[in-house]
Amino acid sequence: MSRIGKAPIELPEGVSIDVQGSLVKVKGPKGELSQEIDPDITAKVNDGTLTVERPTEQKRHKAMHGLYRSLINNMVVGVMEGYKKEMELVGVGYKADAKGSVLELNLGYSHNIFMAMPEEIKVSTLTEKGKNPRVTVEGIDKQLVGAVAAKIKSLRKVEPYKGKGIRFVGEQIRRKAGKTAAK
Q: How far is CA 75 from the centre of its chain?
A: 12
Q: Is residue 70 part of a domain?
A: yes
Looking at residue 1, its pLDDT comes to: 46
Looking at residue 178, its pLDDT comes to: 83
In angstroms and rounded to an integer, the radius of gyration of the C-alpha atoms of the chain is 21
Which H or E run contains 163?
A: none
Beta carbons of 120 and 139 less than 8 angstroms apart: yes
Mean of pLDDT values over 161-176: 92
Looking at residue 177, its pLDDT comes to: 87
pTM reported for the whole predicted model: 0.88
| pLDDT tens-digit readout, 17-52 | 999 988 999 999 999 999 999 999 999 998 889 999
Q: Is residue 124 part of a domain?
A: yes
Length of the chain in terms of residues written: 183
- One domain, residues 163 and 87: yes
- One domain, residues 24 and 90: no
> 97 is in which domain, residue-wise?
83-168
Here the CATH number for the domain that contains residue 61 is 3.90.930.12
| pLDDT tens-digit readout, 121-165 | 999 999 999 999 999 999 999 999 999 999 999 999 999 999 999
| pLDDT tens-digit readout, 72-109 | 999 999 999 999 999 999 999 999 999 989 999 999 99
